[in-house]
Structure 1
Amino acid sequence: MASLGYTQELRRSLNVLGNISMGFAVVSPVVALYAVSMIGTMIAGPAWVWALPVVLAGQCLVVNVYSELTSQWPLAGGPYQWGRRLIGPSFGWLSGWVWQFAVMFGNTTVAYLASPWVFALIGVTPSPGAMVAVSMAIVLLCALVNAYGIGFLKWFVSAGIAGEAIASVLVGLSLLLFFRKHPFSLFTHTFGAEALSGGSVPLAFLTVLAVAGWAFIGFDACVSTAEETKDAGRQVPRAMWWALLSVGAVVILNAVAVAVSYPDTATAVAGKDIDPVTTAVVTSFGSWSDKPFVLVVLVSFLACAMASQGGAARGLYSLARDDVFPFSRQVRKVNGRQAPIGGLIASTLVSGGALLLGMNATAIGSLIAFGTAATFVPFFLVAAAALVARLRGTWVPGGHIRQGRKGTVLNVIAVAWTGFEVTNVCWPRAVLAPPGAPWYQIWAAPLGVAVVLGAGAAYLMARRPQEKIRAAAPEGAPERTAAAAASQPE
């Protein structure tokens, strides 16, 4: 930390398994599957599962770039810290700004989508107000766990993902081996689902690629806890790979298993079943499995929410300690348990406040659409910054991971992939909005990204935080020489 210009304030107690658990919880195979399976089936039929390995491969390119960067600069608030060193203060600050709002509104989405499972567990049909109230309670619970310190958070998250991983693998394998109702040739058929995309299978697949993107985000939570991970320069890159690949394998396994064990594929394609995953499980295992399965799903959502909220708090802390975020003096505070309490309170207020949109289905739907799009924008900005710095010769990877020319080639492909996915996710599609949705919900993704970028640009011009970053002359500034970068200590 000293070599990177900072004092160690957070408790460095995580080993590589603890760091992996943070990434695994945020990506979360159960949350990922529920986020994409119903919509994917409606848009492209059973053939939608082919989008999963494509997106997983694309996200591996992103992890490859992130690995080189976090190996050299293992700091919380990765997009901000890396961008300012690769390109400059203004670019880095704006990257961090967008990433922060993407994560905070992502927390809102996870908490809101978790609340129906609470009611399903107790057998009650919720009202919009009740869903918002329970979602608020989830956000506050996650804040309390985070406030107690990284050790307590790790315990909760690890327990949750252990149950999730075991249940996911066992259920997936059981469905695939013992309850299969359809041949694997099922995945060559769309059952006419492309009708929602004007009858075009390619357009349907492009839409599914956008939807499937939600399944493989969150691995950057490993970076958020880098300052609390032992030997972070080596272990955080490993943790990101383990988190993404393990979740990817479980998601693909369960997506295939649910499809071949689902009793009536045409019903799912027609959108008549809003929960095909639970239907497949309960139909196969029997009614006794309903409540236990609901409990597993709820625990998965809670672990995801806890880890994600912790990541948001640490990102805010990273910005605030450089005095470049609103209310930095308060946001940068660390409590007696060495948890970033200021960032935690700020992220809880933003995420919780956004839950009020849940009183209106259109509003919360727009927020969810924006959150998905905004998550991919920082991926693109980080990959592009790394490539520009490489080509300029102002950055030669100087951490434990140095890939040379191969790294440059993979970086080019990562920029192409993330640029494509940002465009694809932001593209306004009526098929992804409820029937009769207003125009602004259809355009929620590009409008939301434009608003956040515009607000960030306005803050840059009005408050000029980039001048504080530049005046601080941090180690790793973009004007350093390539030789200095190559010799950068851990």
Structure 2
Amino acid sequence: MTERTVPSSDAERLAALGYRQELRRSLGVLGNISMGFAVVSPVVGLYAVAQVGMSIQGGAWIWALPVCLLGQLLVVAVYSELASQWPLAGGAYQWARRLVGPGFAWMSGWLWQFAVMFANTTVAYLAAPWLFALVGATPTPVGLVLVAAAFMLCCTLVNAYGINLLRWFVSAGIAAELIASVLVGLALLLFFRQHGFALLTDTLDASAVTGTGGLGSLLAVIAVGGWAFIGFDACVSTAEETKDAARQVPRAMRWALLSVGVVVILNAVSVVLAHPDPAAVIAGQDLDPVTTAVVTGFGDWSAKPFVLVVVVSFTACLMASQGGAARGLYSLARDGVFPFSRQVRKVNRRQAPIGGLVAATLVSAAALPLGLESTAIGSLITFGSAATFLPFFLLSVAALTARLRGTWRPAGAVSLGRWGTPVNLLAVLWTGFEVVNICWPRAVLVPPGAPWYQVWAALLGVGLVTLTGLGYLLVRRPQRLMTAQPEPELATA
């Protein structure tokens, strides 16, 4: 990957792209990395996939993780060229607008926004049981929803205070998470391992319990494993608040994804090898193999500190993800192409996108009552994964199409050079495969006896959001408000 010189300052480049600096540009590369790291979150990602992975593929499930990581690195490579040339908040919308056109761009932004906002719903809801565990209380369905709403509100208040406070909270959270997760993973692997490494290639006859074959199980685990490596595009959301964004945002995405990938794979291996009874996970008798492995290894005293680490991880994840959603809405609303744009585009005196933050929080909170029914929240989680990969696919297709047509030649500070087209093609194949793989209806990925709509949740959810977006596009025609923006001149070597 090569770099080119872009002589203009951040503010000048933003002006050349048609916008004025409204958000506070104070993040360095480490601050930007922290946003992506927090949203991807190794602890949150591992909890989202470990139990399902082990129950479907036994100890061999961990091999899905490097496959998903390599696939997502292809996406990051394409995103790096786009973010370098157009370092703007709301990347999916802004890039597609320049690569393809207004209608396609608006739908890409619409899908990405709802994927992130509903993902925030699930993060808040999944954090609630840990908050109860932290104080030793027994959760109820209503209690979980109320605590999740309060948790979401607290994170919103931090976001509203501005990027500097958000950066401080997120950085402190990921520092604690990184230190704790690496130390715990290494300790489990080096001192509390209960199985040989051969377990990592053993499915433990999980297919006999799940009723799926070898290939079917592997595809199901890859579908779930992709969830552990999404969120790096939060680095793009804060591009207009990052110094030297054309260079630093691509670097931040790569480092955020790679660092999280290493930690997730380390801890996944450690949990499998330190778990006292992996067969119990397959049989559905242990629904929390991560905590089981940690408490078994370190002793009962470790339960509370471990819960605290998980709570900190969820807090950093939700804060950073909320911030990304708010900035994406701000990017759409300042062009007047989102409902209630005048209100949503507002920036407060601390230069935080307060309108987008309020709108994103209201949408996320509105979905929290689904938590009163566990199967419904499960459907939302499944939808969130599919809806996140769909914009990855759409952007990859848009970039490849523009390359082949000759209408886009990467002209930012970062370029893949002659490798750009083949890498882009691989990104299209990977994301297209994963969209189909996640949307494929599988009874094995839902609780026994779950209603039919949860089995089809990914396809139904994506279809509903897409149809709603198309309806708004046809009725309100927001694409008419989009005009082509001039491109800044780049210095020649």
Q: TM-score range by the shorter chain?
A: over 0.9
Query: Which residue of 368, 374, 377 corresponds with 1:364?
Result: 377
- Contact 1:38/1:271, CA 8 A, preserved across alignment: no
SS at match of 2:137: coil
- Deviation of the 1:368 alpha carbon: 1.2
Asked if 1:398 is matched to 2:426, the reply is no
Q: 5 Å matches for 1:211-222? A: 211-222=224-235
- Deviation of the 1:405 alpha carbon: 2.3
Q: Distance in 2 between matches of 1:445 and 1:466?
A: 27
- Contact 2:33/2:235, CA 8 A, preserved across alignment: yes
The code of the aligned residue for 1:416 comes to L
SS at match of 2:414: coil
RMSD, aligned CA: 1.2
Q: TM-score, normalised by structure 2?
A: 0.96
1:434 matched residue in structure 2: 447
- Deviation of the 1:195 alpha carbon: 2.8
- Deviation of the 1:488 alpha carbon: 8.4
Q: Distance in 2 between matches of 1:136 and 1:178?
A: 40
Deviations 1:16-64 (Å, cap 9, x if unpaired)? Answer: 0000000000000000110000000001001000000000000000000
- Contact 1:21/1:158, CA 8 A, preserved across alignment: yes
SS at match of 1:335: coil
SS at match of 2:48: helix
Asked if 1:167 is matched to 2:177, the reply is no
- Deviation of the 1:196 alpha carbon: 4.8
1:480 matched residue in structure 2: none
- Deviation of the 1:198 alpha carbon: 2.9
1:65 matched residue in structure 2: 78
1:335 matched residue in structure 2: 348
- Contact 1:319/1:325, CA 8 A, preserved across alignment: yes
- Contact 1:399/1:488, CA 8 A, preserved across alignment: no
- Contact 1:74/1:232, CA 8 A, preserved across alignment: yes
Deviations 1:294-350 (Å, cap 9, x if unpaired)? Answer: 000011001000000000000000000000000000000000000000000000000
- Deviation of the 1:362 alpha carbon: 2.0
- Deviation of the 1:363 alpha carbon: 1.6
Q: Distance in 2 between matches of 1:108 and 1:222?
A: 20
**Total equivalences in the alignment:** 479
The code of the aligned residue for 2:249 comes to V
Q: 5 Å matches for 1:283-432? A: 283-432=296-445
- Contact 2:209/2:282, CA 8 A, preserved across alignment: no
Query: Which residue of 6, 30, 52 corresponds with 1:17?
Result: 30
Asked if 1:271 is matched to 2:288, the reply is no
The verdict on how the C-alpha distance between 1:323 and 1:199 changes in structure 2, with shifts beyond 3 A counting, is closer
Residue segments in structure 1 that go unaligned for 5+ positions in a row: 477-483
Query: Which residue of 199, 222, 230 corresponds with 2:243?
Result: 230
1:195 matched residue in structure 2: 208
Q: Distance in 2 between matches of 1:460 and 1:345?
A: 23
1:475 matched residue in structure 2: 486
SS at match of 1:180: coil
- Contact 1:373/1:422, CA 8 A, preserved across alignment: yes
1:108 matched residue in structure 2: 121
- Contact 2:209/2:283, CA 8 A, preserved across alignment: no
Residue segments in structure 2 that go unaligned for 5+ positions in a row: 1-13
Structure 1: which 4+ aligned runs deviate by more than 2 Å?
A: 195-199, 486-489
- Deviation of the 1:241 alpha carbon: 0.4
Q: Distance in 2 between matches of 1:439 and 1:81?
A: 37
SS at match of 1:437: coil
Q: Distance in 1 between matches of 2:148 and 2:318?
A: 11
Q: Distance in 2 between matches of 1:336 and 1:201?
A: 57
- Contact 1:72/1:488, CA 8 A, preserved across alignment: no
- Deviation of the 1:431 alpha carbon: 0.8
Q: Distance in 1 between matches of 2:212 and 2:480?
A: 53
Q: 5 Å matches for 1:44-123? A: 44-123=57-136
Deviations 1:134-173 (Å, cap 9, x if unpaired)? Answer: 0001110111000000000000000000000000000000
SS at match of 1:474: coil
- Deviation of the 1:473 alpha carbon: 2.7
- Contact 2:99/2:398, CA 8 A, preserved across alignment: yes
Deviations 1:383-404 (Å, cap 9, x if unpaired)? Answer: 0100000001000000011222
Q: Distance in 2 between matches of 1:275 and 1:190?
A: 18
Deviations 1:173-199 (Å, cap 9, x if unpaired)? Answer: 011111111110111111111235534
Amino-acid identity (%): 70
SS at match of 2:413: coil
2:9 matched residue in structure 1: none
Q: Distance in 1 between matches of 2:145 and 2:491?
A: 48
The code of the aligned residue for 1:475 comes to P
- Deviation of the 1:366 alpha carbon: 1.2
